[in-house]
Amino acid sequence: MYRYQRRYCGPLQAVIFDWAGTLVDFGSFAPTQVLIDVFAEQGISISMVEARAPMGLAKWDHIQALGRQSAVAERWQARFGSAMTDADVDRLYHAFMPLQVQRVADYSAPIAGARECLAQLRARGLKIGSCSGYPRVVMEALLPHAHAAGIAPDIAIATDDLPAGGRPGPWMALENVQRLAVSDVSACVKVDDTVPGIAEGLAAGMWTVGLAASGNAVGLTYAQWLALSAAEQETVQQPARDSLFAAGAHYVIASVAELDAVLDDIQQRLARGERP
C-alpha cells in the first residue's frame, strides 16, 4: 500500500530562473530604458529609479504601477489634466511593445558566470526552467539571441502564457513544475533579482534565491560594477540585499555565479527534512 511521505527529503530536481538581471542583461536595462522612452514620447519625464520600482511585474502591470507613483501621477495630472486611466495604460503598453521587441536583443548578453552556472546544473542532473515578466512576443525575440550565447533553459514561460497572469502570483513557477515533471515543489529553487520574483517562488512553495548585484535594484552596467572597489560593491548592493531578504528570500547572493554553493546548502537542508 502506498504511504504518503509528508516531508520531501530527496534531491533537488529543478532550478527556475528569471531572465533580465538574472541570466542576461546585467543591470536589467532592457525593460527600464524602453519605459523611460515611451513615457518621454508622452511628454512625461521618468527617472531610471522610478522606472525600476515596479520591476518584476508583467509589463502592463508595471506601466500601471509606474503611473500610480505619486510623483509620476502628479506629472501626468499636470500634463493631461486627469489621472492615468486603464485606457492610458493600454496606449502606453501598445507603444512599449514594439520598442521592447526591437531592442531586447541589444540587452541579451549573458551575465558573467551564467553559462557556467547552467553547465553546473546540467552536471548535477538538474532540470532548468525559466519565466519572465516579458510577454511571449518579447521572449520570442530574446530567446534566439540568448540560446546562441549559451543561455538555453529547458523551458521559458512568458507572463501572458497563462490566463491567471504573472507575478507575484505562483502560476509561472508552477507551470515550470508541471512542464518539467518535478515531483515536489520543495525540490525546486526559484532565482530572481526582484521582490515580485521572490514572492512568486515563495507562493509556489519553493526555495528562493535573490540576486543583489546583477539585477534591477543596483542597476549598474557590468563595466560600472567592475569599476567599483570591493567595499563599494558591498555598499551599493546592501539595499538590494535588505529588500530581497525582507521579501522572504531564503538566500541572497550577488549573481548566479555564486549559486552552486547555495544549492549544496539547500540539498543538505532537504536531507534533514527541512522545507522552504
Q: Which residues are catalytic?
A: 18, 59
Residue in this structure with the C-alpha cell 531610471, named with its chain if needed: 48
Contacts of 223 (CB under 8 A, 6+ apart): none
**Site of grid cell 540585499:** 241
String of DSSP letters for 16-33: EE-SBTTTBSTT-HHHHH
By the 10 Å C-beta count (0-12 exposed, 13-18 middle, 19+ buried), 8 is classed as middle
Q: How many CA atoms lie within 13 A of 17 on its CB side?
A: 28
Contact yes or no for 48/36 (Cβ under 8 A):
yes
Query: How many Å is the maximal CA-CA distance in the chain?
Result: 70
CB 209 within 8 A of CB 262: yes
Q: How far apart are CA 34 and CA 231, in angstroms?
A: 32
Q: Which positions ≥6 away from 139 have C-beta within 8 Å?
A: 19, 132, 156, 158
Q: Are 175 and 186 in contact (CB under 8 A)?
A: no
CA distances from residue 68 to 77, 92, 162, 167, 169 in whole angstroms, order as listed: 11, 14, 25, 18, 20
| Residue in this structure with the C-alpha cell 540576486, named with its chain if needed | 211
